[in-house]
């Protein structure tokens, strides 16, 4: 009988130890969770936003393969060479006219150019990404027009097309 009693005491003791360990473990987990959720603090931090550097661009009238030069009543593609001086890529979102087209200095009789830039829909499709610290030439199909009011002195002229480029990071 002594042996049986001893076995029962040990068995009960193991159960008590296991129960006690489980309770201690639950209390520890509960305390840690409570501390995590109720924890507060004071601190300071700072950050600086970078400034987007201005992109530069130059628009040229680009003839598509088999296309005749720009003429009164005609259209042509614009090739826009864009330089991105930023240390990150930017997406060209839109291109819009920023003023009237001006003929080159060799064509002083070209007073009425009749040349206009037709802005493509924004956002540009397909998406155009200009790599960091790089120059990319983007072709904008059928965006340059010459109407019938153009002076005959505009024949053979090169035109400066001032544009506004909208980019997004």
If DSSP states are collapsed to H, E and C, what string results for 76-103? EEEEEEEEECCCCCEEEEEEEECCCCEE
pTM beyond 0.75: no
**Residues making up the chain, counted from first to last:** 169
CATH class of 56-168: mainly beta
pLDDT at 7: 46
Kindly indicate the confidence band of residue 59, based on its pLDDT and cuts at 50, 70 and 90.
confident
Are 132 and 88 within 8 A, CB to CB?
yes
Write out the E strands in the chain.
56-62, 74-84, 90-97, 102-103, 115-117, 128-130, 134-146, 159-160, 163-168
Q: What are the boundaries of each domain within the chain?
A: 1-36, 56-168
pLDDT at 10: 47
Q: Is the backbone peptide bond immediately before 112 cis, with ω within 30 degrees of 0? A: no
DSSP state of 150: -
Most confident of the following: 16-20, 39-43, 48-52, 82-86 = 82-86
The separation between CA 69 and the C-alpha centre of its own chain, rounded to angstroms, equals 34
What are phi and psi for residue 35, nearest 5 degrees?
A: -65, -40
pLDDT at 159: 86
Give the Cα separation of 53 and 9 in Å (integer).
81
Residue range 119-133, pLDDT digits in tens? 999 888 889 999 999
């Amino acid at each position: 009988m002594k042996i049986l009693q001893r076995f029962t005491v040990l068995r009960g003791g193991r159960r008590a130890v296991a129960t006690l360990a489980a309770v201690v473990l639950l209390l520890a987990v509960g305390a840690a969770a409570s501390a995590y959720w109720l924890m507060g603090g004071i601190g300071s931090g700072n950050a600086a936003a970078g400034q987007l550097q201005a992109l530069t661009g130059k628009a040229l009238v680009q003839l598509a393969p088999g296309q005749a030069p720009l003429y009164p009543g005609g259209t042509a593609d614009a090739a826009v060479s864009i330089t991105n001086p930023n240390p990150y890529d930017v997406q060209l979102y839109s291109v819009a006219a920023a003023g009237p087209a001006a003929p080159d200095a060799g064509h002083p009789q070209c007073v009425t150019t009749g040349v206009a830039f037709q802005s493509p829909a924004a956002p540009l499709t397909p998406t155009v990404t200009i790599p960091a610290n790089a120059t990319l030439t983007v072709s904008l199909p059928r965006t340059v027009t010459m109407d019938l009011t153009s002076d005959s002195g505009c024949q053979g002229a090169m035109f400066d097309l001032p544009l506004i480029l909208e980019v997004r990071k």
